[in-house]
Structure 1
């Protein structure tokens, strides 16, 4: 906890952190303060504050609703593939020892072809898990040390069904990427000989296409789709602003009723 706070403190600099906060704060005070100053000189400080507050929170409600609908502005965590398990087997397709029940049998899974959108995103997540410096399941130093031999997916919404486009809960979606260690490619210098079991090329030659090592263990990276919370922050902003706007507007309404009653009593 302390180390995290120290790291955060060291990352705070004048530009852009402190400077950005001051710019936003001064802009807010100038915009809202000038509006309140004009209102307070015309209708009084208390009523001017209520009118300014109602205008501000009403504007925040409209802006938050636009963020919420279009998924822009203040965004939460984007959708991503989360690695839940890395399994090692002697044969491709053998995932019977997987902790995830759905991954123990790949017969119902859909094989992902080259160029598939799911394959691209899942491959990126698998690369990060297998080679990331902070990944607890890292098995390789670089992405060139292994070759993808298969990729599968199951679950999620059926995009071919028009009813699946209706907003609502989504069924779980899983992906599986299988890799094997790649055959080592060595660039021979003058006078060097090619080691046994390796692929060698002369200096200046184009490296051959990566091939998996025959008989090498198959590593399966099992992932689940995290839908994220991209629209959660704008939803919170919209709902919170709408509640505050309703409270301020109700206060203005009750004040108007009270003023009307006092005027009627004064005219009698």
Structure 2
């Protein structure tokens, strides 16, 4: 006790220094939220699980009480993980995103679409066709090969467009405000396996690869005047349209919850097996005849 009492002032001094230093939030006291959160978790765990273990330990013994309380904790974690896994809440993994197709992301002409694998066969464009006419032929080719042209009011249209803008800016193909998104084509992503013409799909946990092609066109440079609203972008009819080829990354949103659920279930079953084995040993020992007492 004297050692603990002597160490407490030093611990408080160190915590005070850390709390007053600049932390992840910068500035004095930047580490205070983190320290407060850590202390709250420690106190909550010690109060909840510690009190349960203390009651069990005083009734059935320290080792058996720990095994029972640990089994109960693992069972509770299994139930909580099941809810997280089912509804995609709680501890989450990476969200789904659109990733660039390596080496084939920004396609600057219609011939590159078939070379990159976006189209099975090249779009036939007449000689002397305008960029708008060539883009119309390409759009018809996409629809003919099973691609779905998304409506501009759809949520997926905005998501794919925003990610395509990021890839265009990163590649240097365009600068900010130098292009306009015209169309978005979507393909794949179906869930499987499905039975009875798709009516039975409760085990369809897998997805086919999903692709998206975003059509963009250069715009006519506009002069920005001070204190006036920016002009409406006008597509440059003399410049060819370009395409951004992307693949859907489904992410792993439910992976942490699934690992917690499966791991907690294994720990719970192991604890139950240990408790059952102990009960059998106790029952066997009690069934043996008592040894005669020595005089």
* TM-score where L is the length of structure 1: 0.78
RMSD: 2.8
SS in 2 for 1:224: strand
Which of 149, 156, 180 is residue 111 of structure 1 equivalent to?
149
1:104–1:163 distance in 2 versus 1, CA, 3 Å: same
What are the superposed Cα offsets for residues 21-67 of structure 1, whole Å, 9 maximum, x if unpaired?
33223321222112111111111101111111011001011111111
- How many aligned residue pairs are there? 238
1:175 partnered with 2:230: no
Paired with 2:174 and 2:202, the residues of 1 have a C-alpha distance of 40
Distance 1:187-1:74 versus aligned 2 partners, 3 A rule = closer
For each residue in 1:52-94, what CA deviation from the matched residue of structure 2 results, as whole angstroms up to 9, or x when unmatched? 1011001011111111111111111112211213234245x86
Q: Are 1:148 and 2:181 counterparts?
A: yes
> What corresponds to 1:39 in structure 2?
56
**DSSP-derived class of the 2:242 partner:** strand
Quote the residue 1:89 is aligned against. 108
Q: Which residue of 2 aligns with 1:7?
A: none
Corresponding position of 1:197: none
Cα pair distance change 1:176/1:264, threshold 3 Å: same
Which 5+ residue runs of structure 2 have no aligned equivalent?
1-22, 122-141
TM-superposition CA deviations, 1:223-252 (whole Å, max 9, x none): 111111111111100000010111111111
Q: CA deviation at 1:124?
A: 1.9
- Provide the rounded CA distance (Å) in 1 between the counterparts of 2:59 and 2:52: 11
- 2:214–2:245 contact (8 Å) kept in structure 1: yes
Give the structure with the larger strand fraction: 1
Change (3 A) 1:58 1:90: closer
Cα deviations by residue, 1:143-172 (Å, 9 ceiling, x for unpaired): x32101222111122899534565232111
Does structure 1 retain, via aligned residues, the 8 Å contact 2:95–2:252? yes
